[in-house]
Amino acid sequence: MNRARPGGSSSAGARGTEPPEPPEPARRAFTLVELLVVTAIIALLAALLFPALARVEEKAKVTRVHAELYGVGLALEMYAMGSEGLLPPVRVNCNSDLSTHWCEFPVELANQGYLPHGDRPGRAVNMEDVFNPGHTYKYAAPGPELLNGSPAGNYALWVPEDFPNCASTNGRYFSDPKDSPVRWVIWSLGPRPGSPETLDACAPLAARSWHRHTGGGGVVERFATREGTQFKTP
């Protein structure tokens, strides 16, 4: 008969006994001071990142404007080819409900299928200025003008004397397409529609009215010479 050794245990008992699990460490909660520090760091990082993201978004919109205006420029030339070289009239509104829709895109481009139709006042063409929601891009050309829908002579467009460089502050108005060095101009009011650059009296063909840097004002445009060569703002 086998006997267990004093103070010992049988091998079967040893195999069936498991060591006790170590106690879980006590979980330590964040203190109010630590939470405030983390919140302050997140706010600081956000303050540093948001301006950079805004600049990227603005550049993306400017790129989109240039692409859309390029397509509209082609539409204008195709329209003229089918209209004996004539361009659509410029529309100017002074009525209180449409006064902000001056130089809206001509509905003729939509009627001929070159641009999509719109169904809102001041937006007969559904080409919204990404920087001026609720309004189309702008269009102007020396030639026939419609004031509140009625013929009103010719539209006069200011052109700098060094066109197409457009850096000169000297220039004059052209209303006859046969004399004007500019065929047409289409533009967006730019990232700051109410900026002094955008609202310059000689905009959109004066270089000082152009959008040149992120965060600044000025128009984003495309224009063509009388010979049909197209340019865009830098």
Extract the tokens encoding 164: 């197409």
Closest C-alpha to 163, from 111, 227, 105: 227
Helix H segments across the chain? 11-16, 32-81, 107-111
pLDDT at 112 exceeding the cut of 60: yes
Under 8 Å between Cβ of 72 and 115: yes
Q: What is the pTM of this model?
A: 0.79
In whole angstroms, what is the distance from residue 146 CA to residue 186 CA? 17
Contact residues for 45 (Cβ-Cβ < 8 A; gap 6+): none
Confidence of residue 36 (pLDDT cuts 50, 70, 90): confident
Average pLDDT over residues 91-116: 91
CA distances from 214 to 53, 54, 104, 200 (A): 12, 9, 26, 19
pLDDT in tens, 166-203: 999 999 999 999 999 999 999 999 999 999 999 999 99
- SS3 state of residue 31: coil
In whole angstroms, what is the distance from residue 219 CA to residue 103 CA? 14
pLDDT at 24: 64
Confidence of residue 26 (pLDDT cuts 50, 70, 90): low
Which residue type does 189 have? L
Confidence of residue 121 (pLDDT cuts 50, 70, 90): confident
pLDDT at 207: 96
DSSP character at residue 192: -
Under 8 Å between Cβ of 129 and 163: no
In whole angstroms, what is the distance from residue 105 CA to residue 136 CA? 6
In whole numbers, what is the pLDDT of the chain averaged over residues? Answer: 87
pLDDT at 2 exceeding the cut of 60: no
Beta bridge pairs of residue 157: 174
